[in-house]
């Protein structure tokens, strides 16, 4: 067992230059009567002296997660999809008068690492390739905080409301008053996107207002449901030369044609409050209130809070990870367990476990992740994600790529249960085969991208999913969008049961795309902007069949439709899509169903389908 004790008297001489209260909600303290060895004292002293030179930083008392979780005003659904406010997550951090501690190193396999409650540790906890390690907070004065970030001091006015200070590293994230700022960009936030004159795999043409673009990042939208990025290596005659960013959070879709785009990362782009830029070793910041950042800014490099790549049997308990790239980078790790931990302000992902297996996350809060809160893009299997709060994934700053707040793309056997997933830029929960998605609340999804679902699964390989989506509450999913569904059974989904869910206030209630052999039973659908159920057969092959809709309750008002069903093979094809029985319909809508483009009332629907004989129909 490794115990990290209070700093000895020799370390206390660094209090004046290294004391800190990390910019969060609350501060607490911890102490111990034990002492370290002289060698340990020297290590702590050296790290405390070099980790930062902060003054006290304090966030407003009672700051809520919604302060930092609001989507960009330019995102597609921001004007109509409400941002859900969840209670703030207090993080006990290093008390005033105590130095930031160095991150422990050289952790042996099989060790238990006890971190002091209420203290802040600077750096990345290195568990690469390790096995059978537990890292936890001891004491009851608040979680130990792990952060690669630090205070930056010495701010001077650059011009107007922009201040600058020297910074000794490449900056990935800037936080003031517990709110991440946005990297400077063009066009401004009000416009968000410009449209290219032309583009191909390695270039984009547009007459930019400033030619200083080398080293900037081009961000573009190849599809409505994806965002990509490239690094700009040259610019002349209105042409950008581009190369890969090497960032695995993007999918590598190619440039083509007159795509929407923006560029980011140059000082000349810093033109409105809440932005920052890095230039020639200096950080430039326009704070949201226009005041100096001195004494209240936290700045992080592109470094992880915990590096557990290719590790095995790692347990993390009662920790707080603040202002990291990936809160936990666990690429290729197996049997990672994260319990009662807070992961706040990740410039990449909260937990990255692609290529791993058996991830367990319990009673954990993940807030303000630039891409995904929990990302298992490839590999995976047997994940257990439960009792956790996931807020503001893929909604921070300008639009960027996100896959899902809980993204379990390809693994088998996941259990996602009793979580609260709010304010997601794209999908809320994504699972694959042999999965159970039970008793979750998904409130606010598709806030940046579209063609999207609150809960999503698909079977592109056409094998049975054997996946259950049961007893969830899904609401506020892309209410103003045409291509947004609370529950989305994507490409060839089959063998899925959707039961006991409550769906409301979304663009559409549910879609089945080329799917078959799915059971939709005992659900409650209300307040969908367009239709409660969409069934689409796209292509030249008959695929949609044997879906069952039974014991569901539908409430329709205005022009909302119970069903919108269509086939590229023509109107006769939709008759085989599904059976409908024992449903309850309450409708004051002028249209009951859209039947391959034809508006039907309830009587016409029954006559045309020969279904719903045991169902009931009335007015709300």
Q: What is the DSSP string of 177-223?
A: TTEEPEEPEES-TTT--EE-SEEETTEEE---S----TT-EEEEEEE
> Which pLDDT score is estimated for 620?
84
Residue 60 domain flag: no
């810093």: which residue's tokens? 270
Residue 533 domain flag: yes
- Percentage of residues of the chain with pLDDT beyond 70: 84
**pLDDT of 122 above 90:** yes
pLDDT digits (tens, 9 = 90+) for 5-54: 333 222 222 121 222 334 333 333 333 323 232 222 222 222 322 333 23
Residue range 425-434: average pLDDT?
Answer: 98
Token pair belonging to 189? 């936030």
Residue 28 domain flag: no
96 falls in which pLDDT band (50, 70, 90)? low
- Which of 263, 278, 297 is the last residue in one of the domains? 297
Residue 224 domain flag: yes
**pLDDT of 165 above 70:** yes
- Which of 242, 263, 297 is the last residue in one of the domains? 297
Residue 207 domain flag: yes
Residue 415 domain flag: no
Residue range 153-167: average pLDDT?
Answer: 98
Residue 45 in 3-state DSSP?
helix
- Which of 272, 297, 322 is the last residue in one of the domains? 297
> Which pLDDT score is estimated for 78?
36
pLDDT greater at residue 71 or residue 541: 541
| Structural domain count of the chain | 2
The vertex-308 CA angle with 304 and 310, nearest 5°, equals 130
> Which pLDDT score is estimated for 27?
34
| CA 68 – CA 422 distance, rounded (Å) | 13
Residue range 497-526: average pLDDT?
Answer: 98
Token pair belonging to 530? 């367009």
Is-above-0.95 flag for pTM? no
Host domain of residue 612: 450-620
84 falls in which pLDDT band (50, 70, 90)? low
> Which pLDDT score is estimated for 97?
57
- Cβ neighbours for 400, distance < 8 A, ≥ 6 positions apart: 219, 227, 229, 249, 370, 371, 394, 425, 448
| CA 539 – CA 579 distance, rounded (Å) | 22
Residue 33 domain flag: no
User: What pairing do the DSSP bridges indicate for beta strands 593-595 and 598-600?
Assistant: antiparallel
**pLDDT of 100 above 80:** yes
* Residue whose C-alpha is closest to residue 28's, from 119, 139, 105, 112: 119
Residue 563 domain flag: yes
CA distances from 518 to 6, 440, 477, 513, 546 (A): 58, 20, 22, 11, 7
**Overall size of the chain counted in residues:** 620
């Amino acid at each position: 067992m490794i115990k990290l004790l209070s700093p000895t008297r020799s370390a206390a001489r660094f209090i004046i230059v290294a004391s800190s209260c990390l910019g969060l909600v609350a501060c607490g303290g911890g102490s111990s009567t034990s002492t370290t060895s002289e060698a340990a004292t020297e290590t702590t002293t050296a790290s405390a002296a070099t980790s930062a030179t902060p003054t006290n930083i304090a966030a407003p008392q009672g700051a809520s997660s919604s302060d930092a979780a609001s989507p960009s005003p330019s995102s597609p659904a921001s004007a109509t999809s409400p941002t859900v406010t969840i209670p703030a997550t207090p993080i006990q951090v290093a008390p005033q008068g105590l130095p930031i501690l160095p991150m422990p190193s050289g952790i042996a396999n099989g060790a238990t690492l006890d971190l002091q409650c209420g203290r802040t540790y600077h750096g990345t906890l290195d568990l690469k390739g390790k096995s059978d390690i537990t890292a936890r907070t001891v004491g009851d004065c608040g979680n130990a905080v792990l952060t690669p970030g630090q205070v930056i001091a010495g701010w001077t006015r650059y011009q107007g409301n922009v201040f600058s200070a020297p910074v000794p590293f490449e900056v990935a994230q800037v936080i003031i008053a517990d709110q991440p700022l946005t990297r400077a960009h063009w066009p401004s936030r009000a416009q968000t996107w410009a449209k290219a004159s032309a583009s191909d795999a390695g270039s984009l043409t547009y007459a930019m207002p400033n030619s200083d673009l080398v080293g900037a990042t081009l961000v573009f939208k190849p599809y409505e449901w994806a965002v990509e990025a490239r690094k700009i290596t040259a610019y002349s005659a209105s042409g950008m030369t581009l190369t890969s960013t090497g960032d695995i959070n993007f999918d590598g879709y190619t440039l083509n044609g007159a795509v929407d785009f923006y560029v980011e990362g140059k000082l000349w782009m810093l033109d409105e409050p809440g932005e920052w830029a890095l230039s020639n070793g200096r950080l430039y910041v326009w704070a949201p209130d226009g005041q100096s950042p001195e004494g209240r800014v936290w700045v992080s490099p592109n470094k992880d809070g915990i590096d557990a790549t290719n590790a095995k049997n790692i347990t993390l308990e009662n920790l707080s990870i603040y202002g990291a790239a990936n809160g936990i980078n666990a690429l290729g790790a197996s049997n990672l367990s994260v319990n009662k931990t807070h992961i706040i302000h990740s410039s990449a992902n909260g937990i990255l476990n692609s290529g791993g297996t058996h991830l367990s996350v319990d009673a954990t809060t993940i807030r303000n992740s630039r891409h995904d809160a929990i990302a298992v893009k490839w590999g995976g299997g047997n994940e257990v994600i439960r009792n956790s709060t996931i807020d503001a994934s893929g909604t921070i700053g300008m639009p960027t790529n996100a896959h899902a707040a809980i993204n379990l793309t390809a693994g088998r056997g996941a259990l996602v249960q009793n979580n609260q997933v709010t304010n997601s830029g794209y999908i809320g929960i994504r699972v694959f085969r042999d999965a159970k998605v039970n008793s979750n609340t998904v409130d606010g999804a598709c806030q940046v991208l579209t063609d999207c679902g609150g809960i999503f699964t698909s079977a592109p390989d056409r094998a049975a999913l054997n996946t259950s989506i049961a007893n969830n509450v899904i609401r506020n999913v892309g209410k103003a969008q045409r291509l947004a569904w609370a529950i989305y059974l994507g490409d060839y989904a089959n063998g899925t049961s959707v039961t006991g869910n409550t769906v409301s206030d979304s663009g559409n209630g549910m879609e089945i795309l080329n799917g078959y052999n799915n059971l939709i039973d005992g659900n409650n659908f209300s307040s969908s902007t367009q239709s409660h159920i969409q069934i689409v057969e796209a292509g030249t092959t008959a695929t949609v069949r044997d879906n069952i809709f039974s014991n569901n309750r539908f409430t329709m008002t205005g022009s909302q439709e119970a069903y919108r069903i269509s086939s590229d093979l023509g109107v006769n094809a939709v008759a085989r899509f599904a059976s409908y029985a024992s449903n309850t319909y309450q409708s004051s809508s002028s249209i009951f169903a859209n039947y391959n483009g034809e508006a039907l009332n309830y009587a016409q629907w029954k006559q045309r389908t020969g279904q719903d004989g045991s169902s009931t129909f009335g007015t709300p």
